[in-house]
Amino acid sequence: MAETGTNLKKAIALLTAGELVAIPTETVYGLAGNALNLSSVTKIFEVKGRPQFDPLIVHVPGFAAVELYAQNIPRQAKLLAERFWPGPLTLLLPKKKIIPDLVTAGLDTVGLRCPDHTLTHQLLTSIPFPLAAPSANPFGYVSPTRAEHVEEQLGDKIQYILDGGPCSIGVESTIIGFENEALVIYRLGGITQEQIESLIGETILRTHSSSNPKSPGQLESHYAPRKKVILGDLKEPLLGHQLQDTGILSFQHDFHSPFQFILSPTGQLDEAAQNLFSALRYLDKLPINTILAETVPDVGLGKAINDRLRRAAR
């Protein structure tokens, strides 16, 4: 079993020795290791059961560090970081040699992000290397938003979980890249497309690519619980029916089912995002076969929530 706590010294010592530590961020918990150490990075892929074609995000303490690991940094990248860092935005930038090819799965770009979490910020400013960290879940499963989620699934594979409480955003970072003059969003997340566009103008949304995914978070089936998830209108099938064996994931409405999770009784998208992955994990453990879920309003953070629900339903 992993130890869970807030002992920064212990986290620093383990990471410095090349070991992995689960770390809190505002989006989801990460499975972190020294991004410049091949043996640590190899361990990340092993512990997560992640194929090595899927690149890792590298976490830095601030924009100053970006120049150490990336080059030819577009002007818009700096603008975005100034506005949204620390925060749930990952910038894909041309990588420098110091970043191992294993981290980027051979791609010539590296995903860089400065997370907005006090403990993890202290950690990042106390070590002389950046942290590669995918979400701390087995590959393909729902991301963890609490220390207990990490313990349940990776507790026997790592030594320490830095406990930063429940994640305040609850969905992963938005991933943005720069292709010639175009700004491309590869994953919808904690910073909305609207927020980005109001700062730097039009973006292209390219969050689906099943054949040759540039970003495997684009894989059709991802973020999925073990139970079958069906996405649709809840009112039709549920009115007048007592569906045994079926759990309900609703946005706002109370269906008075013994097996339900209401994401936000007051209809707030940020609360729904915070609860989303806990809800899927909760429903996955109930004695049911199927999870019936509904989409949320498709604006702002709602787009990221709906993206995760659709992938969970594949």
Q: Residues interacting with ligand TXA, by CB under 6 A? A: 25, 27-28, 30, 54-57, 88, 90, 92, 104, 107, 109-111, 113, 115, 133-135, 172-173, 175, 186, 214-217
Quote the least distance from Cβ 225 to ligand TXA, whole Å: 16
Q: Is 132 in contact with 33 (CB distance < 8 Å)?
A: yes
Q: How far is CA 10 from CA 75, 166, 203, 236, in A?
A: 38, 21, 42, 53
CB 106 → ligand TXA: shortest distance, Å?
Answer: 10
Q: Encode 146-156: b = buried (16+ Cβ within 10 Å), e = exposed.
A: bbbbbbebbbe
Residue 25 binds what, of ligand TXA, Mg ion, none (CB under 5 to 8 Å, by partner type)?
A: ligand TXA
Nearer CB in complex with ligand TXA: 54/271: 54
- Is 135 near Mg ion (CB under 5 A)? yes
Cα–Cα distance measured from residue 243 to residue 135, given in angstroms and rounded to the nearest whole number: 34
* Residue 100 contact, options ligand TXA, Mg ion, none, Cβ 5-8 Å cut-off depending on partner type: none
In the chain the first and final C-alpha atoms are separated, in Å, by 32
Query: What dihedral do alpha carbons 71, 72, 75, 78 form, nearest 10°?
Result: 0
- Which CB sits closer to Mg ion, 136 or 234? 136
> Which residues are within 8 A (CB) of 18 and not within 5 positions of it... i.e. 6 or more apart?
33, 34, 37, 39, 40, 43
Stretch that binds Mg ion, among 84-92, 127-135, 150-158, 197-205 (CB under 5 A): 127-135
Q: Which does 294 bind (CB under 5 to 8 A by kind): ligand TXA, Mg ion, none?
A: none
Confirm or reject binding of residue 173 to Mg ion (CB under 5 A): no
Which residue, 121 or 214, has its beta carbon nearer to ligand TXA?
Answer: 214
- Cβ-proximal residue to Mg ion, closest one: 135
Contact 175, 159 (CB under 8 A): no
Q: What residue ranges bind Mg ion (CB under 5 A)?
A: 135
